[in-house]
Amino acid sequence: MKVFWIRSGHWVRTIALIFALFFEIWMPLGVIGIGVSQNTNVSSSNPGVLNVGVLFTLDSVIGRSAQPAILAAVDDVNADNSVLPGTKLKLILHDTNCSGFLGTVEAMQMMEDEVVAAIGPQSSGIAHVISHVINELHIPLLSFGATDPTLSALQYPYFVRTTQSDHFQMNAIADMVDYFGWREVIAIFVDDDNGRSGISALSDALAKKRARISYKAAFSPGSPNSVISELLVSINLMESRVYIVHVNPDTGLSVFSLAKKLQMMSSGYVWIATDWLPSFLDSFETNSPDIMNHLQGVVALRHHTPDSDLKKNFVSKWKGLKYKKSSSFNSYALYAYDSVWLAARALDTFLKEGGHISFSTDPKLRENNGSILHLKSLRVFNGGEQLLQTIKRTNFTGVSGRIQFGDDRNLIHPAYDILNIGGTGTRRIGYWSNHSGLSTIAPENLYTKPLNASPNNHLYSVIWPGEVTSVPRGWVFPHNGKSLQIVVPNRVSYKAFVSKDKNPPGVKGYCIDVFEAALNLLPYPVPRTYILYGDGKDTPEYSNLVYEVSQNKYDAAVGDITIVTNRTKIVDFTQPFMESGLVVVTVVNEEKSSPWAFLRPFTVQMWAVTAIFFIFVGAVVWILEHRTNEEFRGPPRQQLITIFWFSFSTMFFSHKENTVSTLGRLVLIIWLFVVLIINSSYTASLTSILTVQQLTSKIEGIDSLISGTDAIGVQEGSFALNYLINELSIAASRIVKLKNQEEYADALRRGPGNGGVAAIVDELPYVELFLAGTNCIFRTVGQEFTKSGWGFAFQRDSPLAVDLSTAILQLSENGDLQKIHDKWLSRTECSMSLNQVDVNQLSLSSFWGLFLICGIACFIALSIFFFRVLFQYRRFTPETQPEVEDIEPVRTRRLSRTTSFMHFVDKKEAEIKGKLKRKASENKQASQSSEAHLDSPP
């Protein structure tokens, strides 16, 4: 194997190349008058040697593992006759020496050697710069170490990432943050291209989980420990205790060693490291106990590579590699090994498909006379576009897993191992993949299963810093000696809810007791100071109070603060601790009893249907009883009177007529049951109407106020004022502000004609307290027309709001919230409804089922009755008519038959049965006489 080692050389040429690079990026070279050369160098279609450039820092955590892997891969490719037969790969290695400047220079020098592909670099910063060069020269760049997510942009078509993008790693971290219930994190990162882009991806991923980065702690590459120490001290004074460390493998340990000295690796802290930390630890067979002592409890992510036979074979022969300088390897060694094979397979396919290795001079690269830049040496690979497309569609299984690119030019199936560092090693607590999310099952075992069958959002237990197994809360109060500044409205009325107090803590009331009880349930102390808001003469505007919390003047607001839409846009509220809503209070008058009150129990529709059914049932019973019961027979006038008398007398169960037919008794039993229910309901409703005091008011609810012109009272400082004006379009001139309960009562008594108000619109808790204090001489009308609640307001994204919401729910469940309510607000309840007459009126909707059953019974009874009568009529009517009748008109015959049927129905059933018996006897005698005549001899 031929390997060319190229180090930094002639500095004049180097500086010239740098200037050429920047001119290439920022200015069209044709503008500065550089000459054009059309020389073309074309090699044979089956070259014996192909140059492949390699660019990375040799003496680094990644480089020490990647170098032997790359050299071993070239040996394996050249020894495999199935790939590139007759052609050998020649590596041209360039050392970037951990310098962006030198890395750029080395990349330019590498392009002079007419390489057909380049592997590396490991630095995302260098990758950004040379991506402009490879785009111009059409040379595919296979990077096994540049994880910057922005390198996947369409701006860099020739950049091919052969490792996992940090976009997926940051999504894995966001899923972990969401899994453990944290909402804020602090990002610690190196302020370079890779660090900035990675943290930007983390911010986007956290936003999808409704979390955020509260502070970005950046330090420049190569910063001394004093700078990093100052940075750690500053973030230790902040609330968040979840730290995401995204730095370089070669300098990242300084962060943890300094954090250990500052006692930031103790209980309550959370440290999550990206893949740089496992890469460092995996690079050594055993790690120093001092190093591991600094990392206890850290959670880290490592690229997941399946345990395949190829990987096991590679690991087994790793110790025998002659190029190896370290005793172990990390995941980047696997990706570097596969990058060489990817280039080899793609070149093999490229040549087999007729591709040619040829280079030509870029017409854009021209030199002035006497120029020392030697831009002619930078040639364009003519087959670069074809080779790039071949690389993108190459699909094989390598030591790192499946090598196949998706539509986003990233490797498919990105996955990470989630590690927990403890003792002298690491413990895997789960996996993450973009297919199944968090899981305790290896991702390759889940790709063939549906998502709903995978155990998502589950990890094994973690041992956190300080050897704590319970999940840290993730935040604390800042260590700057400042207590929580809580603003409280200084009310002049309804002081049972919140008011000033001479004794500590300076405030008291129902809301204060609820807040204090919720704080006592928290597993940590909350230092706090209550600050009164308002001068005590007028109730302050609550909207202004909430606004000042949103402007960070106060940390929270505690009191009878209603949760409304405009306020939720600027602050975070806790779970409501009291239900609320706007109602209308007005003066009511006692209604005098009416002489027609006995008609009120039923609606008009109910009265009409009941009367119709009385007559209908009476008629049905008469029809069923008429042929068999003497009491239902007689002259037509008497029968009509019998129908009405019988039907209405059933209302009092005083009917004197007896029913003898089975069908008649069935109908009567069902009807009497219906009458019993109607009578009972009527009696109960009438009793309620005559005994309950009836109250009336000309104001029936909020709709009456909107349509009217009378003055409306609202509480001073309440959101009801803006609601009536902005939402209900009530003129501001009609609104009267009232301070306390005394003004409420006085304004209602005087009324709109004497400078008072027609009604008051206020929240339900205040109204209940007001009505109880006035011995219930006022009433609410209509329904509660808004639904809201009272909550405690905090600054946006305050974690205390979430914890207090949980505590309020606990107070509600264990009954303490009701006890506090009874302590401050237990009063005599007043009846709130004025529409009792309407409520007590019984409508048809409550009884239509009874009427339906009765109607069906009547219909069935009538049907059976008429079928039986029709059967008797057919037996009774002679089968033949005299021939004289045949000459009668058809209409006359039909009328005669109808008259005959009605006459038949009107006859007594006993008489009909007697005639039928005589007819049957005569027919029998006639039949016997005919038989005797036939039997006699002639």
pLDDT tens string 558-589: 999 999 999 999 999 999 999 999 999 988 76
Pick from 105-109, 190-194, 822-826 the range whose average pLDDT is largest: 190-194
Instruction: Tell me: do 292 and 420 sit in the same domain.
Output: yes
Instruction: Tell me: do 224 and 89 sit in the same domain.
Output: no
Instruction: Tell me: do 145 and 191 sit in the same domain.
Output: no
Integer Cα distance of 518 and 640 in angstroms:
79
807, 825, 843 — which closes off a domain? 825
Is there a cis peptide before residue 221, judged by omega within 30 degrees of 0?
no
Would 709 be classed as within a structural domain? yes
pLDDT band at 687 (very low <50, low <70, confident <90, very high): confident
CATH number at residue 86: 3.40.50.2300
Instruction: Tell me: do 291 and 320 sit in the same domain.
Output: no
H helix or E strand, kind and range, residue 909: helix 909-935
Instruction: Tell me: do 721 and 817 sit in the same domain.
Output: no
pLDDT above 70 (res 805):
yes
Instruction: Tell me: do 60 and 154 sit in the same domain.
Output: yes
Cβ–Cβ < 8 Å for 201, 170: yes
* pLDDT of the residue at 112: 82
- Tell me the one-letter amino acid at 436: S
Instruction: Tell me: do 554 and 503 sit in the same domain.
Output: yes
Whose tokens are 């071949």? That residue is: 390
Instruction: Tell me: do 762 and 719 sit in the same domain.
Output: yes
Total of domains in the chain: 5
Integer Cα distance of 566 and 545 in angstroms:
13
Q: 3-state class of 387 per DSSP?
A: helix
* pLDDT of the residue at 763: 93
* pLDDT of the residue at 836: 45
691, 709, 737 — which closes off a domain? 691
Integer Cα distance of 166 and 174 in angstroms:
12
pLDDT digits (tens, 9 = 90+) for 296-346: 999 999 999 999 999 988 888 777 665 655 556 789 999 999 999 999 999
pLDDT digits (tens, 9 = 90+) for 191-200: 988 999 999 9
Would 937 be classed as within a structural domain? no
Mean pLDDT for 630-652 is 70
Cβ–Cβ < 8 Å for 339, 117: no
Integer Cα distance of 329 and 315 in angstroms:
9
CATH number at residue 557: 3.40.190.10
Would 861 be classed as within a structural domain? no
335: tokens are: 């990706």
pLDDT digits (tens, 9 = 90+) for 740-790: 889 999 999 999 889 899 999 999 999 988 888 787 778 888 888 888 999
- Tell me the one-letter amino acid at 790: W
Looking at per-residue pLDDT, the higher value among 452 and 91 belongs to: 91
Domain that includes residue 109, residue range: 49-160+309-366+373-403
Question: CA-based Rg of the chain, rounded to a whole angstrom?
Answer: 48
H, E, C per residue of 227-270: HHHHHHHHHHCCCECEEEEECCCCCCHHHHHHHHHCCCCCCCCE
Would 814 be classed as within a structural domain? yes
* pLDDT of the residue at 16: 45
348: tokens are: 């093999």
What's the order of all strands across the beta sheet hosting 556-557?
528-533, 484-489, 556-557, 793-794, 572-573
735, 767, 787 — which closes off a domain? 787
Looking at per-residue pLDDT, the higher value among 405 and 590 belongs to: 405
- Backbone torsion region of residue 697, taken as left when φ is above 0, otherwise alpha when ψ lies between -120 and 50, otherwise beta: beta
The full DSSP string for 825-850 is H--------S-HHHHH-B-GGGTHHH
Q: What is the pTM of this model?
A: 0.67
Cβ–Cβ < 8 Å for 740, 537: no
pLDDT digits (tens, 9 = 90+) for 477-512: 765 557 889 999 999 899 999 999 999 899 999 999
Instruction: Tell me: do 101 and 128 sit in the same domain.
Output: yes
Spatial CB neighbours of 744, under 8 Å, sequence gap ≥ 6:
585, 713, 738, 760, 770
Integer Cα distance of 94 and 365 in angstroms:
24
Instruction: Tell me: do 708 and 636 sit in the same domain.
Output: no
Would 913 be classed as within a structural domain? no
Would 122 be classed as within a structural domain? yes
Mean pLDDT for 821-845 is 67
Instruction: Tell me: do 302 and 313 sit in the same domain.
Output: no
pLDDT band at 117 (very low <50, low <70, confident <90, very high): very high
pLDDT band at 227 (very low <50, low <70, confident <90, very high): very high
Looking at per-residue pLDDT, the higher value among 629 and 359 belongs to: 359
In this structure, of 104-118, 155-169, 196-210, the range with the lowest mean pLDDT score is 104-118
In this structure, of 238-242, 261-265, 444-448, 791-795, the range with the lowest mean pLDDT score is 444-448
Would 747 be classed as within a structural domain? yes
Instruction: Tell me: do 102 and 229 sit in the same domain.
Output: no
Task: Show the beta-strand stretches assigned E in 647-803.
Answer: 695-696, 712-715, 735-738, 759-763, 778-781, 788-790, 793-794
Percentage above 70 pLDDT, the chain: 79
Alpha helices in 296-407 (DSSP H): 309-316, 331-352, 384-393
pLDDT above 60 (res 850):
yes
Integer Cα distance of 487 and 545 in angstroms:
8
Looking at per-residue pLDDT, the higher value among 159 and 931 belongs to: 159
22-29: Cβ within 8 A, 24+ apart: 24/132, 24/133, 24/136, 25/129, 25/132, 28/364, 29/364, 29/365, 29/366, 29/375
Would 65 be classed as within a structural domain? yes
